[in-house]
Structure 1
Amino acid sequence: MTSTRPIRIGVQLAPQHAPYERIRDAAAELEELGVDILFNWDHFFPLSGEPDGLHFESWTILAALAEQTTRVEIGALVNCNSYRNANLQADMARTIDHISAKGGEGRFIFGTGAGWFQRDYDEYGYDFGTPGTRLAALARDLPVIRARWEELNPRPTRRIPILIGGGGEKKTLRIVAEHANIWHSFSDAPTLERKLGILAQHGSDVGRDTSEIEISTEVKRRPIGTSGGSTGVGAADELVELGATLFTVGLSGPHYDIDAVKDWLEWRDAHNARRGTAAS
């Protein structure tokens, strides 16, 4: 079912293989172009290219982006729940929310997940555990985070949106149904359709109307002049028909080629004009 939400375009600026100044400049250029959200990721080493290449920490960059920008929302795609105490995560998120507010509501999105990159765990001294134990920890910690937001002084400027990444049908989607405002996955259209049905059932089990959850996915390369597959407008249009409205382009250093983003912004604007909606 097509959503009535406006389509939004996010960009994930991978904090790898580039000096910080290049990340900062790319963020400024992308905000000027009109992207809706700037994401990074929460890792300690590059995920592609030279394994020991340049890399920067997620949350400190997010705080800098909160101060630097004025309009875009910001967040990690996604934070690793294992790396920080739940109450500390809540306090950090609240603080960035206030940094980003600029006299109005904050612009921070709390994107989070259970974690998966073993090198991070091993080199920084965290217990890797199993997928099951990491998901159990995420389910345990999200209520703690939400409760801490109510106790902090000052509280967040708004109800901080929670984005949960992952597509596990038994556990992750149950957590999504309970806590998420945004659900991010890497699903093609048939997979997304099936998982949305499973998500709705989890919602029924926990008393939540999951149609209120924004559906997010990743797109690649340029949309113009392509069709079908994971990279083109054909696939993206199918996902829109199923209810997806947040599409994120991943960019990596050292150059952060933004030409593809311009094309996706044109695609967004054309869709929203036809639908009579507009991104905020």
Structure 2
Amino acid sequence: MTRLGYQIPNFTYPGVAPERLFATVCQQAVEAEESGFDTVLLMDHFYQLAGLGTPDQEMIECYTLLSALAQHTSRIRLSSLVTGNTYRHPTLLAKTVTALDHVSGGRAQLGIGAGWFELEHHSLGFEFGTFTDRFEKLEEALQIILPMLRGEQVTLSGKWYQVHDAMNHPAPLGRIPVLIGGGGERKTLRLVAQYADESNLICGVPEIPRKFEALAGHCADLGRDRSEITVSYQTSACIAPTHEEAVAEFEAYLVRQPQGASRRDTAIVGSPDEVAEKFARLRDTGIDGVTVNAPPNGHIEGRVALLGETLAPLFTS
């Protein structure tokens, strides 16, 4: 499971024409693989999120893009962070992830969550429903997807989904690990304890101990060994050879994308030594790994490589 993941959340890059967009994304994935990251992850969205840009900015469908990246990499795992369950029927998602596993030579990982981006749903015609609806759908979906990924036939007559002897041939090449994203202590972490191999937390650093406690409680209630579950933490970074370069690239990003101002207080910005020191403190909270994105400068050749070389000794050695 994820110890050091590189997430690509944005596809709007200064000076990059549309015909160079895939090459720029591919460059990041290749640098990630070669520098020590173990997983490349893409957001599963169709519109850009408010904290990163505007809805009309570039957003490529994630599973098509992951399959393309599989042809340019050879070792790194490939995943969404995370699939919005509301966007695909569970049987289609099981087939899609299995196809990714085959075209990547067994490197697929399933990241999944309940879905939350209301604008995207209403604009594109996906049913949104209530918070409770979406979590009920997610649990039923897991009851369909996971057996299908194990090569089993599935029958379910649920509130939201009905399938009869649903099959998945060919089966995945190996066991596809399952990551559930989010930090909700009552619902999300209970689903992690019951169904997942990994929890990817999005929360403030001071909240991490409370998330651990909640997850451990759900595991105890379900009779599951908490040590079976990897816990990774989602964050952002802007690294450059010097502190001054990193700050300049981060500030230039905020000029281009003022919506990203919320990252000023949370992104880890600095030279390799500064970034390593801050991530070492994050590791000392007890997390098993991190998923890191670099929207300010990940498109600049060499920056993802520098980030991987800086963090790999902390999380993969």
Per the TM superposition, whether the score is higher than 0.5 is: yes
Contact 1:17 1:252 in 2 (8 A): no
Deviation, structure 1 residue 230: 5.8
Q: Paired residue for 1:145?
A: 145
Deviation, structure 1 residue 44: 0.5
Contact 1:215 1:245 in 2 (8 A): yes
Residues 1:10 and 2:5 are matched in the alignment: yes
Instruction: State which of 289, 309, 312 in structure 2 corresponds to 1:246.
Output: 289
2:88 maps to amino acid = R
Contact 1:44 1:120 in 2 (8 A): yes
Question: TM-score normalised to the size of structure 2?
Answer: 0.75
Residues 1:39 and 2:36 are matched in the alignment: no
Q: Paired residue for 2:29?
A: 27
- CA distance, structure 2, for counterparts of residue 137 and residue 128 of structure 1: 11
Contact 1:174 1:202 in 2 (8 A): yes
Q: Which has the higher contact order (CA 8 A, sep 6+)?
A: 1
For structure 1, the 5+ residue unaligned runs are: none
Between Structure 1 and Structure 2, how many residues are aligned? 264
Instruction: State which of 66, 88, 93 in structure 2 corresponds to 1:89.
Output: 93
Question: TM-score normalised to the size of structure 1?
Answer: 0.84
Instruction: State which of 59, 74, 77 in structure 1 corresponds to 2:81.
Output: 77
Partner-residue secondary structure (3-state), 1:35: coil
CA 1:255–1:263 in 2, change beyond 3 Å: closer, same or farther?
closer
Structure with max Cα Rg: 2
2:222 maps to amino acid = V
CA 1:234–1:133 in 2, change beyond 3 Å: closer, same or farther?
farther
- 1:118-150 Cα deviation digits (max 9, x unpaired): 122012211111222111111111011011122
Deviation, structure 1 residue 233: 4.7
The 4+ residue runs of structure 1 with deviation greater than 6 A are 223-226
- CA distance, structure 1, for counterparts of residue 45 and residue 276 of structure 2: 30
1:134 maps to amino acid = R
Contact 1:17 1:253 in 2 (8 A): no
Contact 2:190 2:215 in 1 (8 A): yes
CA 1:269–1:76 in 2, change beyond 3 Å: closer, same or farther?
closer
- Pairs within 5 Å for 1:133-172: 133-149=133-149, 150-151=151-152, 152-172=168-188
2:183 maps to amino acid = G
Q: Paired residue for 2:18?
A: none
- 1:85-138 Cα deviation digits (max 9, x unpaired): 10111111111111111xxxx111100101111122012211111222111111
Q: CA RMSD in A?
A: 2.6
Partner-residue secondary structure (3-state), 1:12: strand
Deviation, structure 1 residue 65: 1.4
Q: What is the identity percentage for the equivalent residue pairs of Structure 1 and Structure 2?
A: 34
Contact 2:7 2:291 in 1 (8 A): yes
